[in-house]
Amino acid sequence: MSTLNSTQAKAGSVSELSAEAARVQAQSEELRRAKRRRFIIKSILAHLVVLLFVIFAAFPIYFLITAALRPGQTLYSTNLQLIPSTISFDNFDYMINHTPLLKWLLNSIIVASATTVLSVCLATTAAYAFSRWNFPGRNGIMSLLLALQAFPAILGLLAIFVIFKEFHMLDTLWGLVLAYSAGGLIFAIWNTKGYFDTIPIELEESARVDGATPTQTFIQVILPLARPVIAVTALLGFMAGWGEYITAQTVLFSENKYTSMVGLITLQTDYSKPWGWFAVGALLAMVPVMVVFMALQKNLVGGLTAGGVKG
């Protein structure tokens, strides 16, 4: 009898343990389902937010495309059509074949590219000197540059015009390149210097022990590590030379010297606004900027010096 009771007690304990295990498993499954539901809801909300931002960012491009494809100079339709009922390429034909738009775009590419190269060369060399060399007046010069940066660039427009007139640099693309390069140089120097300060000086010392000259150290050691900040400086320099209007309109007078921004403005009159032509010009002007950004985006990251020194 005692053996039977013991067996029954053990069977009851096993049943209770099995039931408890089943409850624990059910609770765990419910928790997993709840976590999955929360994850799905959060994922859907995140995708909706991203989609909203994408729509917000893409709508101006869509608006330009529809304005360029509408016949005439109609900026928008009154019946809220997402796609124009009539598609025409007359605006593209006129802008490409009957205006100097391609010449203006070429001038913009020349100015922006030259500004990019000059800005990068001046900013990197000056920033390296400020970062590595302790010469008299260094801190004072850096403070002066920072103070000058506080003033709007438009304040120097009259001075730029007078200087260009004295040195016969008006109505020249290379004069415009100098103006753009000088205008963004202060920020580029400060930004590049801050990055150079993060590069371990032990790398340069090792290169010099191996017989490298200061120039070789700068070109072969520092510049490859500074690719992210060089990419940022190049992108800012290109944008400064590509999309600026006021300075270009002030120093350029000949139609064949206009940049795209100045040339497009000359198409309007006091009585009409050629929105379709503007849309075509804006769409074509987007292409070089997108190409430059796609070429530089892989270098627009930091942290390349994280593994520069071991141990």
Q: Locate 91 and state its tokens.
A: 């605006």
- pLDDT at position 187: 87
Report the 10 Å Cβ neighbour count for 71.
14
Tokens of 124: 């990197």
pLDDT at position 198, please?
86
Query: Which amino acid does the sequence have at 239?
Result: M
Question: How confident is the model over 261-281, as pLDDT tens digits?
Answer: 999 998 887 777 888 899 999
Distance CA 285, CA 280 (A): 9
What is the pLDDT at residue 44?
A: 92
Kind plus residue range of the DSSP H or E element containing 303: none
CA atoms within a 13 Å half-sphere pointing along the CA-CB vector of 155: 5
Task: State the pTM of this model.
Answer: 0.79
What does the buried/exposed string (b/e) look like for 239-262 if buried means 16 or more CB atoms within 10 Å of the residue's CB?
A: bbbbebeebbebbbeeeebbbbbb
Sign of the Cα pseudo-torsion (171, 175, 176, 179, in order): negative
Which run of H or of E encompasses 256?
A: none
Q: Is 183 within 8 Å of 243 (Cβ atoms)?
A: no
Among 162, 39, 112, which residue's Cα sits nearest to residue 288? 112
State residue 108's pLDDT score. 94
Predicted pLDDT of residue 270: 72
Euclidean distance between CA atoms 281 and 197, whole angstroms: 42
Burial of 230 (0-12, 13-18, 19+ CB in 10 A): buried
Tens-digit pLDDT profile for the chain (311 aa)? 555 455 555 555 656 666 666 777 777 778 888 888 888 999 999 999 999 999 998 888 888 888 888 887 766 666 666 677 778 888 899 999 999 999 999 999 999 999 999 999 999 999 999 988 888 888 888 888 888 888 887 888 889 999 999 999 999 999 999 999 988 888 889 888 888 888 888 888 888 888 888 888 899 889 988 888 898 889 888 998 898 899 999 999 999 999 999 999 988 877 778 888 999 999 999 999 999 888 887 777 543 333 334 43
pLDDT tens track for 33-76: 888 888 899 999 999 999 999 999 888 888 888 888 888 776 66
